[in-house]
Amino acid sequence: MKHYKIAVLAGDGIGPEITQEALKVLKVVEERNDVAFELMPALFGACAYFATGDAFPPETIAICDQADAILKGPIGLSHEESKKIPVDKQPERGALLPLRRRYNTYANFRPVSLPKALAHFSPLKPEVIGEGIDLIMVRELVGGLYFGEKEMGVNAEGLRYVRETLEYDEVQIRRIMHQAFKLAMKRRKLLHNIHKSNVLKSSVLWNEVMEEVAKEYPEVQVVNFLVDSAATALCLKPTQFDVMVMENMFGDILSDQGGGILGSLGLMPSACLGDDKAYYEPSHGSAPDIAGKNIANPYSMIGSVAMMLENSFGMEAEAKNVWAAMQGVFAEGYSTADLSKPGSGVKMISTVEFGDKVVEKL
């Protein structure tokens, strides 16, 4: 029997609720496979800060270090609440970025996927969805502005100023490109390279390395897109994209736009892979306004479990089952509040009911 240790970081806001549903799914997978999942829950994010004074406390680090994979819920506080915590202790700077840095999870995969049959979820017209949206954004996750030096102070003229640096070296770019090209080879052999080389020198190097790596994948067709044009195109014709690769900040913005075109960030799971460790998380925030109400969409969290099954445990068939079970729930006309607005014709179910229905279908 295989034995896997999973660090479970439920996070803040809706995190615990949607994690609960994801764990139900994991339990079913465990029961019917020759595998044991050892769950190791740990505090992470604002909850950890309030309990220990540290958003990513040593006990959590120890658990993550031991784990074969990390399942992480969304973290963070509302704009107003977050002011109560010193800037560097806030969950994003104090926990999430350190997590990404510690395990060097440089490759973030964010599927943006909506079958034609679910076009009604989307704010886009059915004719824009066409045969369905099915793209994956590959986001560089441990470089760029997020991890550069930061300096805040008062300058010679007595003015408050701030300076931060965006850095990339060729190794950082090359490894994410390989991930993107490999994924493209497994899919439609089409790669959209997102950049801003007409202004940013970082994009000049980005494109240079991309072209070098491209030579190793001659079958892949590369299409270059300025990041601003990509933002236009994602609204006008999202179906043109299959695999998109981009640096950290661009990936943050465009992937959330991706959630927008699907109809809900609740449809955005993700995998964050390093060379030795991987963690899995929804792409969205902790939605403090709807926390504790049993209305959040657990899709992104259950989807993250599916990505974990596939990437960390090689359980591709079970991953497919999980995706199919969720699609099955949608196919019966059910969804959570985010996707069942009055008049949409979608039958509203709670977070727990969604999880239950997925389990039934598994």
Ligand X SMILES: CC(C)[C@H](C(=O)O)[C@@H](O)C(=O)O
Site residues (CB under 6 A) for ligand X, limited to 219-248: 228
| Binding partner selected for residue 202 from a copy of itself, ligand X, none, CB under the kind-specific 5 to 8 Å limit | a copy of itself
- Angle, helices 351-361 vs 299-313, to 10°: value is 40
Among 285, 298, 303, 355, binds a copy of itself (CB under 8 A): 285
Among 38, 65, 208, 360, binds a copy of itself (CB under 8 A): 208
Two structure tokens written together for 182: 């490999």
> CA 187 from chain center: how many Å?
20
Assess 166 for contact with a copy of itself (CB under 8 A). Answer: yes
The full DSSP string for 193-214 is EEE-TTT-HHHHHHHHHHHHHH
Separation between Cα atoms, residue 15 and residue 47, nearest integer Å: 11
| Binding partner selected for residue 3 from a copy of itself, ligand X, none, CB under the kind-specific 5 to 8 Å limit | none
293 classed as catalytic: no
Residue 218 to residues 10, 77, 211, 245, Cα–Cα distance (Å): 42, 46, 11, 17
196 classed as catalytic: yes
Separation between Cα atoms, residue 312 and residue 317, nearest integer Å: 13
Site residues (CB under 8 A) for a copy of itself, limited to 233-262: 233-236, 249-250, 252-257, 259-261
Assess 264 for contact with ligand X (CB under 6 A). Answer: no
320 classed as catalytic: no
| Binding partner selected for residue 224 from ligand X, a copy of itself, none, CB under the kind-specific 5 to 8 Å limit | a copy of itself
Catalytic residue (one of 106, 146, 168, 299): 146
Stretch that binds a copy of itself, among 22-30, 36-44, 45-53, 223-231 (CB under 8 A): 223-231
Separation between Cα atoms, residue 201 and residue 188, nearest integer Å: 30
Separation between Cα atoms, residue 16 and residue 351, nearest integer Å: 11
Assess 199 for contact with ligand X (CB under 6 A). Answer: yes
| Binding partner selected for residue 31 from a copy of itself, ligand X, none, CB under the kind-specific 5 to 8 Å limit | none
252 classed as catalytic: yes
Contact 95, 55 (CB under 8 A): yes
Query: What mask, x for binding a copy of itself by CB under 8 A, covers residues 81 to 100?
Result: -x----x--xxxx---x---
What region does 101 belong to: left with phi over 0, alpha with psi -120 to 50, or beta?
alpha
DSSP, collapsed to helix, strand or coil, labels residue 5 as strand
65 classed as catalytic: no
The radius of gyration computed from the CA coordinates of the chain, to the nearest angstrom, equals 20
Query: What mask, x for binding ligand X by CB under 6 A, covers residues 63 to 102?
Result: -------------x---------------x---x------
Assess 300 for contact with ligand X (CB under 6 A). Answer: no
> CA 120 from chain center: how many Å?
23
Candidates 140, 146, 145; CA nearest to 97 is: 146
Site residues (CB under 8 A) for a copy of itself, limited to 333-352: 343
Residue with smaller CB distance to a copy of itself, 1 or 156: 156
State the catalytic residues. Answer: 146, 196, 228, 252, 256
Binding site for ligand X (CB under 6 A): 76, 92, 96, 198-199, 228, 252, 283
